[in-house]
Amino acid sequence: MKKQNTQWRQLAACAAMTLAFVGAVLPVKAATIALNGQVFQRPLTPTEIAKYGLANAQFSAGIRNVALGEPVYLDALVNASIAPSNIVSVTWSLPGTNIPVGSTATLLPSPLGTNVPIYNPADQLIPHNTQAGALAFQLAGRTFFRPDVEGTYTVLATITTTGSLNGTNIAPAVTNIAKTITAATYLGVNVCAACHSGSFIGVPNIYSTWTNTPHSTFFTRAIDGLVSSHYSKNCIQCHVLGYDTNSFAINGGFDDMATLLNWTFPAVLTNGNWATMPAQLQNLANIQCENCHGPGSQHPFSQGIVGNTNAIAVSYNVGDCAQCHDSLNNEFEAAEWYNSLHAVTTRTPSGSASRMACVRCHTAPGFINYVANLGSTNAYATNVVYEAINCQTCHDPHDASNPHQLRTSTTVAFNGNTGFVVTNAGAGGFCMNCHNSRNGSVSNSIVNYPLDQMTWNGGSSFGPHDSPQGDMLEGVNAVTYGKVIPSSPHAMVVSNTCVGCHMQSVASSDPAFTLAGGHTWEMSYNLVTNGVTNTVALTYVCTQCHGNLTTFDFPVADYNGDGIIEGVQTEVQHLLDKLSTLLPPSGYQANPSNYMADGLVKTSISTQTNWPVRYLNAAYNWQFVNNDGSLGVHNAAYAVGLLKASIGDLLGDSNGDGLPDAWQSHYFGPNFASNPQAGPNAINNSAGFPNWMMYALGLSPFSTPTVAGSGVVFFNGNNIVNGDTNTIAIYTAAEIAFNTQVGTSYQIQGISALTASWQNISTNIPGTGGSISYVTPTRNNAQMFFRVVHTP
């Protein structure tokens, strides 16, 4: 789907140029550690105001277009690796030449204390940022001001640091960083619509689609009593433009116009309130353009430019949405996102010429550009400024054509598996735009990789990318060895697939609230009890089908065949470990014949282009299951089937029944897998010995050995070591071992069926105070049960 290409290319270019300018750093002397300094316009949300006790602070979107009298919070950030003692000072200035004529605005100490953290999770030094290439910042200083005249304000931060080089102290390094803010007044939606309704070539038609969004009519519906019976003027700050009753905030907002027109909030919420509201107020009501882009009076014409795009904000920062959608406990989407891994996507993909395809899933503007240009070479952008995956990434504020205002439809083509299109995933289909193997099809990896040819549109690499959850859930794009490997029913029975589980609702009274489910997309959370941290699985949605569960690692079957039924995730991990032991070590061997399994469990697989194909097939499946990350929860049948098929292929036992394919094929023909007589427990001789025993003895499953009456026979290959070379003596027996006490007599009893009567099979055995072992023949019995009775 392709939509609004011109708009998003313009906005992305505008944002990139603007951020490149405001983030410009002028180093005087290089320090040992890069400063990475920036001045960040910090958002402030209603939840933060309550959480940190900021009673005298106002919330802010943190965008560069600010209404007159509204707060501007500025943070100076530097590399977290710099020792705080090496940050000498941060000096803020707002020179008279950098403010509009007539302004008396001054910089003041920020009302945000040191207990208020850096806003963006991706900028914080938190565990998620331990990933390679991630940057973490520390707070060096803060300031605050309120613009009082329309125009541009350029704030300068002078950061002075010191340190040492090779043990020698160096002179302080001084870095100047500029941040430009545009102050303006509100115009209202009618002015925006004059240009953005499709009347002008090159100007995006945003207004027409915006009118179909819930934002565009929220106040209209609320004041007519269609939203809530207790809606009041205390609720409207987020639902109209510029509602700020402070005397210094005269900026053309809703409250200013209401005062001018002597309009008061209606005493009764009823149909007709909106219709009778003055048109000037209707122009400033509902959640509209300037709520998100900032006041627009400088945008139509300023600095000699008609339609000055530098005088209107296009923000990819979550704070723009969080100014309203982070007000616990009613608006909690941003608080949930703050605890998500999406909030800390890696900074490594820069959008450079060699990494163009990375930004589509690792940066907000990269993904927005991607979905706006699906099917076009323009879908991959270069030099995209980093911003985490957030609200604006997935939701289009201007268009409600797709469910939940998602930026594209829920039908998605897996570019990792050419020709496969997901149509049955519901809202989860949108997630699969990124959560699929984007490294090309499985055949590309197996065929093209050894030839060092391109395997995907970004280059040549082996195996699925880091997040093939869509492929796993749908049961596609892995090495199946020509077999039909079944899938679990999750893809068909879970409503909206990914969304149905990962975004399950959590009550505000639940300890998991904002920590799991919803826009955290987390399926578990950490709960601290008496100083002990426990990870708790969010299994509410699972219980609808699986019953009362408290863990995802619940027992299902003995997938790895060790005789113990463990949790499904444990079983899958055992299979991963088993498969990894059958793969070669990562070191390069010039001669492909030298590659051999090393028997070691591996936590990562590094392939070589000259690996034999059997190893490449198995390595691909190992990576596929491992990178999915769910250890079978998404699709246990498919994950287990792939791993067992790979293990069987490397061991020469493709059906995983414990008997080599070559042996079964030799005696039962090429269709042995469907022949019940070829199974390990099938008996094909008059002596009653199963196939597994005959294979272990190196004999034909159809041969009829003679059971001798005495002696123990040992085998060496096909040769009998003692006894007649044509005679096999096999004795079956049971050992009953038990502890005894002196003065107590013991009796061994046996029974062939639990419905029969117990029979003595031993004489009285006096206790010795130690352990006694009793061996009894079982040759003529199909089954036996034993017990030990004692007197006294």
| Residue 128 pLDDT | 44
Q: Kind and range of the H or E element at 93?
A: strand 87-93
| Residue 416 pLDDT | 53
72 DSSP β-pair partners:
145
Rounded to the nearest 10°, the torsion over CA 161, 165, 170, 172 is -10
CB atoms within 10 A of CB 261: 12
Is the confidence at residue 24, as pLDDT, over 50? Answer: no
Higher pLDDT, 378 or 790: 790
With b for 16 or more beta-carbon neighbours within 10 A and e for fewer, the 746-768 pattern comes to bbbbbbeeeeeeeeebeeebebe
| Residue 27 pLDDT | 37
Region 646-674 average pLDDT: 87
Highest mean pLDDT among 8-17, 99-108, 167-176, 731-740: 99-108
| Residue 172 pLDDT | 75
Please choose, from the candidates 156, 165, 32, 9, the residue with its C-alpha nearest in 3D space to the C-alpha of residue 97. Answer: 156
Higher pLDDT, 220 or 414: 220
Region 755-768 average pLDDT: 85
Q: What is the DSSP letter of 765?
A: E
Q: Kind and range of the H or E element at 179?
A: strand 168-184
Distance between CA atoms of residues 314 and 630, nearest Å: 37
Q: Are 75 and 250 in contact (CB under 8 A)?
A: no
Distance between CA atoms of residues 18 and 365, nearest Å: 14
Distance between CA atoms of residues 318 and 340, nearest Å: 13
Is the confidence at residue 65, as pLDDT, over 80? Answer: yes
Is the confidence at residue 22, as pLDDT, over 50? Answer: no
Name every residue whose Cβ is closer than 8 Å to that of residue 1 and which is 6 or more positions away in sequence: 371, 374, 408, 409
Q: Strand, helix or coil at 333?
A: helix
Name every residue whose Cβ is closer than 8 Å to that of residue 115 and which is 6 or more positions away in sequence: 52
Average pLDDT, the chain: 86
Span of 4-13, 57-66, 125-134, 613-622 with lowest mean pLDDT: 4-13
| Residue 193 pLDDT | 96
Is the confidence at residue 255, as pLDDT, over 90? Answer: yes
Q: Are 525 and 534 in contact (CB under 8 A)?
A: no
Distance between CA atoms of residues 792 and 789, nearest Å: 9
The percentage of the chain sitting over the pLDDT mark of 90, rounded to a whole number, equals 61
| Residue 653 pLDDT | 86
Q: Strand, helix or coil at 614?
A: helix
Cis peptide before 329 (omega within 30 of 0): yes
Please choose, from the candidates 571, 574, 580, 533, the residue with its C-alpha nearest in 3D space to the C-alpha of residue 552. Answer: 571
Distance between CA atoms of residues 391 and 320, nearest Å: 9
Distance between CA atoms of residues 517 and 527, nearest Å: 15
Is the confidence at residue 1, as pLDDT, over 50? Answer: no
| Residue 604 pLDDT | 94
Distance between CA atoms of residues 652 and 644, nearest Å: 12
Q: pLDDT tens for residues 504-555?
A: 999 999 999 999 999 999 999 999 888 899 999 999 999 988 989 999 999 9
Q: Kind and range of the H or E element at 472?
A: helix 469-474
| Residue 750 pLDDT | 86
Q: pLDDT tens for residues 429-485?
A: 999 999 998 887 898 889 989 988 888 776 788 989 889 999 999 999 999 999 899
Tokens of residue 530, six digits: 């008496």
Vertex 407: Cα angle to 406 and 413 (nearest 5)? 100
777 DSSP β-pair partners:
733
- In single-letter form, the type of residue at position 247 comes to S
HEC readout, 541-593: CCHHHHCCCCCCCCECCCCCCCCCCCEHHHHHHHHHHHHHHCCCCCCCCCCHH
Q: At what angle do helices 613-628 and 636-651 cross, to 10 degrees?
A: 160
Is the confidence at residue 12, as pLDDT, over 60? Answer: no
Which residue's structure tokens are 């710099």? Answer: 82
Is the confidence at residue 101, as pLDDT, over 50? Answer: yes
Q: At what angle do helices 364-372 and 5-22 cross, to 10 degrees?
A: 160
Is the confidence at residue 32, as pLDDT, over 80? Answer: no
| Reported confidence tier of residue 373, pLDDT bands at 50, 70, 90 | confident
Q: pLDDT tens for residues 144-164?
A: 999 999 999 999 999 999 876
Distance between CA atoms of residues 324 and 517, nearest Å: 20
| Residue 127 pLDDT | 42
Residue 713, CA atoms < 13 Å, CB-side half-sphere: 22
| Residue 31 pLDDT | 38
